[in-house]
Structure 1
Amino acid sequence: MHYLEVSLELPKDFDSPITATTLKTQLISAVKQLLGTKGAAYKVDILKFNSIEQSFILRCTSKHYVRLRAALTVAHSFEGVPCIYHIIRASPNLLSFTANSRTYTH
């Protein structure tokens, strides 16, 4: 399995509430847009979702990790509104998300 910590950047005037269900639908749509219906069948789970910060942690199989990451990189809309998916961290180990080496102080 692979895990990705992702944040979603939307225009400031976007006021529709984002739920985990809407997010999953849009993720599947992004994968389908790049990889077709076969890609839409890939198993992607949202493990954690923060609607205020618009960030989430995804889980996918290691086999489909590169394809999912590519789909998020080229995705350009969320419910018809321009968006950017920022991949903050990616790891085959979920435990590595508990600490951030960039902000760790000794």
Structure 2
Amino acid sequence: MSGYQYLDVKLKLRDPDSVTLTPVFLCGCILNSLTNIFGEIGGQTTLEIVKFSSTDKRFIFRVSEDFLKRVRIAISLIGYYQEVPCHFQVLSTSQKPLDFEATPEEFIAF
């Protein structure tokens, strides 16, 4: 079994007031993108939101290392969240758990 990577991600929306931002909807959006791009993903997906801020539109999630490339590709290709134009920005990636208050320089992936 491989280790995990943590991603600090910010969601940028064209009209932020017109969406409902929840961890469940975010996971669904990412999983839907994975399925659309790579087909059936089955049980190999380990995607877990560990921190969430609806105010800052940021979330930190954990993904298995062997699945990291697919998740980053899927995130970068998402253009809509609940039918509102958007894009996801990966702020940092780390093998160690991330926190919103920490500086991104501390978490450079090896």
Residue of structure 1 equivalent to 2:46: 43
Tell me how far apart the structure 2 counterparts of residues 13 and 34 of structure 1 sit (CA, whole Å).
26
Q: Can you give the 5+ residue segments of structure 1 that lack an aligned partner in the other structure?
A: none
Q: Can you give the 5+ residue segments of structure 2 that lack an aligned partner in the other structure?
A: 106-110
Residue of structure 2 equivalent to 1:12: 15
User: Which of 36, 59, 63 is equivalent to 2:62?
Assistant: 59
RMSD: 2.4
Moved over 6 A (4+): none
SS in 2 for 1:83: strand
Aligned length: 103
Change in CA separation of 1:32 and 1:53 when aligned onto 2, cut-off 3 Å: same
TM-score by length of 2: 0.80
TM-score by length of 1: 0.83
Change in CA separation of 1:39 and 1:67 when aligned onto 2, cut-off 3 Å: farther
Instruction: Among all aligned residue pairs of Structure 1 and Structure 2, give the percentage whose two residues are the same amino acid.
Output: 25
